[in-house]
Amino acid sequence: MNSTLKLIIGISLIIGLFSCKKNQTGGKGSVKGVVEHHGKAIADAYVYIKFNATEFPGDDYTNYNTYVKADANGNYSIAFYKGSYYLYAKGYDMDIPYPFEVKGGLSVSLRNKENLTKNISVTE
């Protein structure tokens, strides 16, 4: 009986570990919004995503786990599992002096199946 109990506990732990996804894309929760510079949507901006992060991981895109590209109206949308994420957007505003690049980010925390709307404000 002792070995049967250990087997049941072991199987339960394995199922628990693999059924609880956290800090990755593809879940039933989401974050969506607009990448904007002084209220103007930034078309085709890239939104880089760092999993399990609440602090700015830096400018280098290789520090991030994945990315999405905003549409022509600056809208982005990402499906997530619960967890903490840092979103960092980079794009171009042709209405400002060269080099036109604008960037900025924010930290988000999602609960299970939560849907958030978060605009990302970017600056020079």
Could you read off the pLDDT of 49-66 as tens digits, one per residue? 999 999 999 999 999 999
pLDDT(22) > 90:
no
Write out the two tokens for 27. 């879940």
pLDDT(99) > 60:
yes
Q: Where are the chain's structural domains?
A: 23-121
Sign, CA dihedral 71-75-77-83, equals: positive
Q: Which of 47, 53, 50, 49 is nearest to 33 (CA)?
A: 47
- 60 backbone dihedrals φ, ψ, rounded to 5°: -70, 120
Instruction: Answer whether 0.85 is exceeded by the pTM.
Output: no
CATH topology of domain 23-121: Immunoglobulin-like (2.60.40)
